[in-house]
Amino acid sequence: MENVIHLFFIIPLVGFVLSLLVNNSKEAILSQIAFYTIGTNLLFTLGFSIYWLFQGGKSINLKEFTVYNEQDYNFFIDFFFDRITATYIVVGTIITFMVVKYSRFYLHKDPGYKRYFNTILFFYIGYVLTVMAGNFETLFVGWEILGLSSFLLIAFYRLRYLPVKNAIRVFTIYRIGDIGILLAMWMSHHLWSDNVTFFKLHNYELVHQQLESHSDIGIFISLMILIAATAKSAQLPFSAWLPRAMEGPTPSSAIFYGSLSVHIGAFLLMRTHPFWEHQVSIRWLIAIIGLSTAIITTLIGRVQSTIKGKIAYSSAAQIGFIFVEIAAGLEVLALIHFAGNAFLRTYQLLISPSVITYLIREQFYNYEPSKDKEKNSWIPSRIKNAIFILSLKEWHLESVVFRLIFMPLKKLERMLHIFKYKSVVYLFILVYIIGIYIANSNYGIPHNLRYGLAIAAGIVALLMVAKAYNERSNTLLAWTLVVFAHFYIDLAVTLNDHVDIKEATLYLSGITISGLLGYFCLKSVGISEHNNISLNKFHGFVTKHKLLGFVFLLSCLGIAGFPITTSFLGEDLILTHIHEKQVALAALVSLTFIINGIAVIRIYSRIFLGHYSHNFQNSSDLSI
């Protein structure tokens, strides 16, 4: 049975590759590839799951292959199949199959027909990798694919302002979840001194022994997992992104934000439940977050003016109850609840356009004002009115997240005038070379001083990405900063703990290639558009430069550490050189990675997405 488990991933991967090779005008072929790919995987999933149940339903752990192996570091792809995986993959495959069938006709004659089915198949690959992951590294690969495909589908109507704007917002919240996974992976390496698998977490004696002597580390890992889960599943305080994600086509909203992607946070909690189940404070925190989300999102959902917004908040409320069930140890109930909520929200979203039509017709012909008014209520009218106004304003959830996380980055703009293009290219290259020389010298520099220098280099890297995040006039400066920030991360970690030349090359080679490729794309667009590529608006140049837009997106993914270049593996490898007590340095590095990813996606969106206009301003007024 273990010999065929990898087919869960191979079948959709083959379908995805085939769909890339088909011309955009061949709608029938594109839809048939997606239909038969998911249909084949559905038959295989049902057959495998039934056979697995008849064999006793025992957990299967399969180490597929090793990607990179060094002395104290082993990155390998690991698959794990148990009842959680079985439930998620069966439900996910059935829903994906239904949505693909529905989309074949829903998107007929749409210019982005091929792009849509490419992205759906890409999403399904990420979903399968996530729910079948046997360790954090494999899960993070699928997690990143889900994040990217979410961005692409929300911004599916990429020539419109609002879908692109909301896609960036959702991607930003997803990156906040990424920092939780990154830090959980980092501390897990130090806790176990190994790449621990989820299968090993079911060994109670092993987990209890480690947590008994490292309780503070255990709580830290659990909190990071919870941050990742709440961000991914739209729980408080991150609930406001869910209705914003409904800007994409209705079928993609159904598969992503009604049923599958939004439940991945709950999956993460269930998958890691053996690790944190004996940490009472974490269980209470999960339950409080889930219950608070259920109450507040229910209130918000009741005053929504759009049907998609109402469904989105209803889904978030039910996931809040699922969080409570997971915290209480009711895994089977949580899985049943997940399946029911996923199917219901998919159905509601798919029929939502028809429902709106029926309601409008009913209101037009048969509307009668309601004469029933609540005369007696135990809730004072002032409190009811206050709750109503707060719910209309969505309890200011979006503004709270913005003020706490992103407002400090914007305020840094006044302090970052030192980052000019020439100073970055010359001064910071010189400082980097001197720093690398000091880091690799044998001058006997005290450890405290080296750590202080490492913190300084980490702060410079963070300031670089903060400047890139805020930059609006000079596109090349923003791009150069996001590239150089990675070199300063390498410098910080090398100063802290010697990084082997092989490891540094593995990390920086992907960054260098992606950086140069992106630079030449920006230069080419700048020359073609008479230097009219500032970042103060959305230009929509993908309309005119489709190939350059695709290549630049790949470059952005390489810089952001997406698993298409060695930079993804390098980020995880770099973090292992930060010791468990060095939380400040780990936080600086992780924040830099996260903001870096947000900054490059903003650069891509502002250059290539949005409404394309042929009326250019005078090139002397704008600069690259």
Query: Residues 554-581: what's their mean pLDDT?
Result: 84
Q: Cβ distance 441 to 495 under 8 Å?
A: no
At 59 the three-state DSSP class reads coil
**Average per-residue pLDDT in the chain?**
85
Distance set, CA 451 to CA 464, 487, 533, 582 (Å): 20, 17, 40, 9
Query: Residues 280-294: what's their mean pLDDT?
Result: 94
Q: Nearest 5°: phi and psi at 130?
A: -70, -50
- Tokens, residue 245: 């994600």
Cis peptide before 237 (omega within 30 of 0): yes
Confidence category of residue 92, pLDDT binned at 50, 70, 90: very high
Q: Given this model, what pLDDT does residue 368 score?
A: 62
SS3 content of the chain, % helix, strand, coil (to 5): 75, 5, 20
Q: Name the residue with higher pLDDT: 534 or 369.
A: 534
Domain boundaries of the chain, sorted by first residue: 2-360, 416-621
DSSP sequence for 169-203: HHHHHHHHHHHHHHHHHHHHHHHHSS--BTTGGG-
At 565 the three-state DSSP class reads coil
Query: Residues 485-503: what's their mean pLDDT?
Result: 85
What amino acid occupies position 621?
D
Confidence category of residue 214, pLDDT binned at 50, 70, 90: confident
Q: Name the residue with higher pLDDT: 304 or 221.
A: 221
Q: What is the pLDDT of residues 138-186, one digit of tens each?
A: 898 899 899 899 899 888 888 888 889 888 888 888 888 888 888 898 8
Give the highest mean pLDDT range of 52-56, 247-251, 395-399.
52-56
Query: Residues 402-423: what's their mean pLDDT?
Result: 71
CA 395, CA 398: separation in Å to the nearest integer?
A: 8
Q: Name the residue with higher pLDDT: 248 or 227.
A: 227
